[in-house]
Amino acid sequence: MSNVRKLSDYRPPLEVVERKVAQLEDGFLRLANELLDATMCSGLPETELCVVMAVWRKTYGFSKKMDWISNEQLEGMIGKHLTHCSTAKTSLVRKKVLIQEGRKVGVNTNIAEWETKNNGFCKTLAKPAKKTLAEVANRPSQKLLTTKDNIQKTKDNTPLTPQGEEMDEIKIQECWNEIAIKKNYVKSLGLADSIKRHLRRNFTAYLRHCKKIKKEHPKSITEFSCTYLSRGFAGWATGHHSGENDRKWRADIEFAVRKSTFEKIFYSGD
């Protein structure tokens, strides 16, 4: 005689189908809003952002300012290979987002020291660019034709590099070399003509942007260039630019100021 089985025998246990809901009772951490705001607008790459949050979890989650967090622990917490975790942590220490004392690591609460996009230099042009593109798209197609008949002889009043403005090459070179020592970049032996052309073009582009959004612009190309190199490029660059790559390649000043690099930084995230 076969055993009698009930429908309940085929149902999974209640604990199997029960959904886990996040609750404060299961634990929480206290985090200053200013730290969260600075991290949100820092422009950090994904892995570095995950490492920052993991450090929050291991320190503030246990009411600590610093703690020893191994790369293996980070790997288990953020689901990325430990070598990537190690590179990201090193980069964050170099950017002064994290501080390290021996084997312990913690968050640098002095946000003004962070060498990231939250320093106020790297602002997006997304909204102005969208507006400009929309205006171009809405123009009658006839006006967009580049024929001899409809080429308008108009004067561009866009502000250019002030006439008579001299570039302090030595100061810019010293500024870059100071960064290069800290970040392991290639030091500059002098500013080639191509580098000076890049710097002038970048400054002109920034002046145009300042005029468009009615923002006060830097007083000189030297001031702008040093700010861009020390805050813009150094805050955007990663360990890859410091030799942490298969080719051991390191960034030099020409790479930092070339058009493609400048636009990646200048037009990057909100």
pTM (two decimals): 0.44
Confidence grade of residue 19 (pLDDT, cut at 50, 70, 90): low
Amino acid at 97: V
Q: Is the pLDDT of residue 4 over 70?
A: no
- The separation between CA 193 and the C-alpha centre of its own chain, rounded to angstroms, equals 29
Least confident of 12-21, 29-38, 41-50, 87-96: 12-21
Give the mean pLDDT of 126-154: 48
Q: Which of 53, 23, 25, 60 is nearest to 39 (CA)?
A: 53
- pLDDT at position 267: 72
Amino acid at 15: E
Distance CA 190, CA 8 (A): 81
Residue 135: CB atoms within 10 Å: 9
- CATH, range 27-113: 1.10.10.10
- pLDDT at position 208: 87
Give the mean pLDDT of 77-97: 90
What percent of the chain stands above pLDDT 90?
A: 37
The tokens for 196 are: 């000076």
E-assigned strand segments in 46-193: 66-68, 98-101, 104-107
Question: What residue spans define the domains of the chain?
Answer: 27-113, 120-128+166-266
158, 164, 217 from 211: Cα distances, Å:
8, 20, 8
Higher pLDDT, 216 or 53: 53
